[in-house]
């Protein structure tokens, strides 16, 4: 039977197992996303992670975690990964003629995290160049930017002040 893993997920959807560090209704695996040692190699045909990896430290933890996710992904399996696009958010932040101070403060929160709980702190800013390079370093290939995944209702489709703010990428584990 094909297994799919939604890391950081909150929305229950048939065919997907939810992994979350917070105890919420519907979670199948209550654990930290950087240690998937309970799963065998090549367990999942797909992994989905929306606005998760920016919470991982760029000094080792991010690459190590993506290597771990690659390990549990089956050969040819797909990772759907979404992050706040640092290029878009920085452009919004510095153009003071377009957004007032309070609105730019909300952009700043998207860059650094909302700080509403212990997990809501961003430890890295990512754009296509950075995330693409890190995915390649972690062993992924065929990296492709997409407008939307169409899989879950989450931050991957978030639009702020008329601007989609997420970088959405699909990548494959080498077959």
CATH number at 107 reads: 3.40.50.150
Number of domains present in the structure of the chain: 1
Between CA 143 and CA 128 the distance in angstroms is: 10
148: tokens are 């939307």
Domain range for 86 is 4-173
pLDDT (tens digit, 9 = 90+) per residue, 85-143?
999 999 999 988 989 999 999 999 999 999 998 889 999 999 999 999 999 999 999 99
Residue 83's nearest CA partner among 8, 18, 11 is 8
Q: The whole model's pTM is what?
A: 0.95
Q: How many residues in the chain?
A: 175
Note the pLDDT of residue 119. 87
Residue 3's Cβ-count burial label (10 Å; 0-12, 13-18, 19+) is: middle
- Cβ-contact 79, 69 below 8 angstroms: yes
Q: What is the pLDDT of residue 95?
A: 87
The residues pairing with 132 across neighbouring beta strands, listed in sequence order, are none
Q: Can you state the angle between helices 128-137 and 61-72, rounded to 10 degrees?
A: 60
Quote the tokens at residue 78. Answer: 């797909």
């Amino acid at each position: 039977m094909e297994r799919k893993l939604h890391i950081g997920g909150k929305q229950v959807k048939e065919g997907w197992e939810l992994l979350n560090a917070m105890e919420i209704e519907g979670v199948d695996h209550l654990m930290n996303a950087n240690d998937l040692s309970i799963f065998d190699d090549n367990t999942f045909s797909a992994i989905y992670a929306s606005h998760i990896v920016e919470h991982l430290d760029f000094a080792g933890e991010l690459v190590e975690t993506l290597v771990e996710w690659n390990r549990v992904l089956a050969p040819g399996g797909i990772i759907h990964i979404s992050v706040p696009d640092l290029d878009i958010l920085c452009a919004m932040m510095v153009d003071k003629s377009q957004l007032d101070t309070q609105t730019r403060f909300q952009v700043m929160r998207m860059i650094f995290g909302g700080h509403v709980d212990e997990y809501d702190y961003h430890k890295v800013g990512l754009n296509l160049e950075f995330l693409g390079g890190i995915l390649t370093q972690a062993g992924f290939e065929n990296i492709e930017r997409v407008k939307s995944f169409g899989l879950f209702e989450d931050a991957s489709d978030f639009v702020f002040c008329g601007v989609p703010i997420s970088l959405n990428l699909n990548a494959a584990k080498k077959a």
